[in-house]
Structures are given as structure tokens and as C-alpha cells.
């Protein structure tokens, strides 16, 4: 698989809310994981233009990430701004 356990733990440690390897459910860690998967699928779709099932999965991931970002923006704007800056996302 393209995403190894060590890479996942690194993402959770760097972007998790409590900065631990076991913080897998916080919005920041999920957004970081979705962003990593989105970039991987984007690269895949650049070479495989007719892979429509992967394209659908990509669109679903983008929607999930957008909903999590909207949730963070409504509840805690400081956390939202920090994750946007750390991942280099724009709205």
C-alpha cells in the first residue's frame, strides 16, 4: 500500500491536536491524512486519466476534508488557521 504505518504515525504526530502518535481522531490529523491521500490520488490521476473510480474516490475525499475544515472554522478558528497554514491549503 502507498501509505505505510510509519508515515501515518508521522502525520498524526505532526498534525494531531495533542501531538501524540495515538491522536488519530482529531480534525487536524484527519485533515492531514486526507490531504496526503488527495495528493497521492491526484498524481495517480495525472497518469491514468480514464480511472473514473479513483476520480470518484478523490472527489469524496475532497468533500470530507472540506466538511472537516468547515467544522473547524465554525468551532475553533485558531485551529483552522493553523492547519491551513501548516498544510498550505487555500480556500
Question: Residue 49 is part of which domain span?
Answer: 5-13+25-87
18 vs 7: which has the higher pLDDT: 7
38 located within any domain: yes
Q: Looking at the 3D structure of the chain, how many domains does it have?
A: 1
Q: What is the pLDDT of residues 28-42, one digit of tens each?
A: 999 999 999 999 999
Predicted TM-score of the model (pTM)? 0.88
20 located within any domain: no
Q: What is the pLDDT of residues 44-74, one digit of tens each?
A: 999 999 999 999 999 999 999 999 999 999 9
37 located within any domain: yes
SS3 for the chain is CCCCHHHHHHHHHHHCCCCCCCCCCCHHHHHHHHHHHHHHHHHHHHHCCCCHHHHHHHHHHHHHHHHHHHHHHHHCHHHHHHHHHHHCCCC
Amino acid at each position: 500500500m502507498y501509505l505505510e504505518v510509519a508515515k501515518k504515525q508521522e502525520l498524526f504526530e505532526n498534525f494531531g491536536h495533542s501531538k501524540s502518535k495515538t491522536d488519530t481522531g482529531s480534525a487536524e490529523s484527519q485533515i492531514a491524512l486526507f490531504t496526503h491521500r488527495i495528493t497521492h490520488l491526484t498524481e495517480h490521476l495525472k497518469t491514468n486519466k480514464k480511472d473514473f473510480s479513483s476520480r470518484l474516490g478523490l472527489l469524496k475525499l475532497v468533500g470530507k476534508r472540506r466538511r472537516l475544515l468547515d467544522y473547524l472554522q465554525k468551532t475553533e478558528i485558531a485551529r483552522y488557521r493553523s492547519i491551513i497554514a501548516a498544510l498550505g491549503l487555500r480556500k
